[in-house]
Amino acid sequence: MRARTKKILFSFSLLVFLFFYIPILFVIIFSFNDSKLGTVWTGFTLEWYGSLFKNSQLIGATLNSLYIAVITTIIATILGTLAALALHRYTFIGKKSVEFLFYIPVVIPDIVVAVALLAIYGLLNMSLGLNTAIPGHVAITISYVMLVVLARLSSFDSSLEEAAKDLGANEWQTFWRVTFPLIFPGIMAGALLAFTISLDEFVISFFTLGPGSNTLPVLVYSMVRLGVSPEVNALSTIIILLMVIVVVVVGLRMRKGENLNEKKL
């Protein structure tokens, strides 16, 4: 019975992985397709990678997306980590309400956040641009960072902080030398999640970007009516490879850091 259950679970897991990764594999394969249609294989070519870097529109939109994603990640990671520490360590009046407020952006549709921000910008008579998209991105990513860091803090041994204080460390030294290294994997995971969500965000960007300002998802959406250029497949392949490299490097460094922390302890 147990062997049969394992086979069923393995088969189901395999189907889920295939469902997720086969489309990505096709994007990578067709980035080398000689056809402009992108749906029929006509031969191998590297032409689209060469023309990609000559396409100022695609490169500009990619740089805009990276700019918004990096700023969003920095702000969301700092605020989300501080919120997680406050909710984990302290008990105060209205704590449950505050926790509930942080859960709202996770379940609320992005269109609601986008329309609300657009209304606020209209009342304040603000001109739209790249920077007006950042608050919306922060609003939806800060909660994810907080939840990931909270999950890391749930297994945190507070006796290590007490031991550091007993040995003469002050609050600041205890945080940077004990607390921060131990929760860093959670912070890094939250930061990567925030970066990915921001880079991929379409709805909020579509509503809050100014005229002439495009992010990559908004630009690709505008291309759909006339057909997506094979250069987009080439760009997607480069982004996928870069993200895989970043995740692997960060994962190895976090594992190395955890091993060092365990040896020190």
User: How would you label 45-79 residue by residue, b for 16+ Cβ within 10 Å and e otherwise?
Assistant: eeebbeebeebeebebbbebbbebbebbbebbbee
Asked: is 56-264 a CATH 1.10.3720.10 domain? The reply is: yes
CA dihedral 82, 85, 91, 96 (to 10 degrees): 70
Dihedrals φ, ψ of 29, to 5°?
-65, -45
pLDDT confidence of residue 198: 93
DSSP string, 32-68: TBS-SSSSS---B--HHHHHHTT-HHHHHHHHHHHHH
Per-residue pLDDT 10s for the chain (265 aa) are 677 787 888 888 889 888 888 888 888 888 888 877 666 777 888 888 888 888 888 899 999 999 999 999 999 999 999 999 988 888 888 788 888 888 888 888 889 989 999 899 989 888 888 899 999 999 999 999 999 999 888 887 777 777 877 777 788 888 888 888 888 888 998 999 999 999 989 999 999 987 778 898 988 888 877 767 788 888 889 988 988 888 888 777 767 655 655 555 5
pLDDT confidence of residue 65: 93
d(CA 214, CA 195): 17
Residue 21, CB-side half-sphere exposure with 13 Å CA sphere: 6
Q: Where are the domains of the chain?
A: 56-264
pLDDT confidence of residue 146: 92
Joined tokens for residue 197: 């969500």
Q: Is the pTM of this model over 0.75?
A: yes
d(CA 43, CA 49): 15
Q: Which of 67, 79, 84 is nearest to 195 (CA)?
A: 67
pLDDT confidence of residue 70: 95
